Amino acid sequence: MKELNDATSAPGPGQAGSSSSRPSDQAAANFQDRIKQTMDRMKSSGAEVDAAVADSEADDFLSEMLKQMQGAAGEGESDEDFSKMLLNMMEQLTSKEILYEPMKELNEKYPEWLRNNESRQSTGDLQRYREQYGVVKEIVAKFEEPEYRDESDKDREFIIDRMQKVVGLPLPCSPPFQTNLP
């Protein structure tokens, strides 16, 4: 790109290095502007493609769940089949791949939040927040166990049980906690 800029901005044969507004100088400037605009659009498109690729994994997961739900509703499946489908969705939503990072982030931010907001909370709220933090620590510790497997019934039941406890306790309303859970 530098060579292209140098070639288009360098004076041609018989031209002095003066900056006149001759048509050839204007054409070179327009050409450089067009190249710059094209490069900017390519960068922008590349960023959009990267974002789309990152979002596609989540979209695939959600569209698969939607298909399952539509199939269950449209095919007149029994309550047992619908329960199986919901259990399958719960298993997917409580997988380490989905939950570990947000839980780890929550685990890291909770102690500081508790220290900074302890005086502003009622005793009851503070107790619930501390209890929730304890449950979050348990989930993160379980995910970090070397023998943890999403396929293990025991591990999955542990995570589902703890997630029900986390959801049953209100999150603090401060910014670090407003959007971190899936």
- Can you give the three-state secondary structure of the chain, one letter per residue? CHHHHHHHHCCCCCCCCCCCCCHHHHHHHHHHHHHHHHHHHHHHHHHHHHHHHHHHHHHHHHHHHHHHHHHHHHCCCCHHHHHHHHHHHHHHHCCHHHHHHHHHHHHHHHHHHHHHHHHHCCHHHHHHHHHHHHHHHHHHHHHHCCCCCCCCHHHHHHHHHHHHHHHHCCCCCCHHHHCCCC
pLDDT at 40: 67
- What are the tens digits of pLDDT across the range 108-160? 998 998 898 889 888 988 888 899 999 999 999 999 999 999 999 999 999 98
pLDDT at 141: 97
The whole-number average pLDDT for the span 45-74 is 61
Q: What is the pLDDT of residue 125?
A: 87
Q: Which two tokens stand for residue 118?
A: 């302890």
Q: Where are the domains of the chain?
A: 30-93, 95-178
Question: Is-contact 141 172, C-beta < 8 A?
Answer: no
- Whether 145 and 74 have beta carbons less than 8 Å apart is answered as no
Residue 85: per-residue pLDDT? 78
CATH 1.20.120.900 fits 95-178, yes or no: yes
6: which 2 tokens?
A: 């140098």
Q: Is the confidence at residue 162, as pLDDT, over 60?
A: yes
Cβ proximity of 95 and 178 under 8 Å: no
**What's this model's pTM, rounded to 2 decimal places?**
0.52
pLDDT digits (tens, 9 = 90+) for 60-107: 666 666 666 666 555 555 677 777 777 777 777 888 988 999 999 989
Residue 111, C-beta contacts closer than 8 angstroms, at least 6 positions apart: 133
**Rg of the chain over all Cα atoms, to the nearest angstrom:** 29
> Distance (Å, rounded) from C-alpha 130 to C-alpha 119?
14
Largest CA distance in the chain: 87
Q: How would you classify residue 103: left for phi > 0, otherwise alpha for psi between -120 and 50, otherwise beta? A: alpha
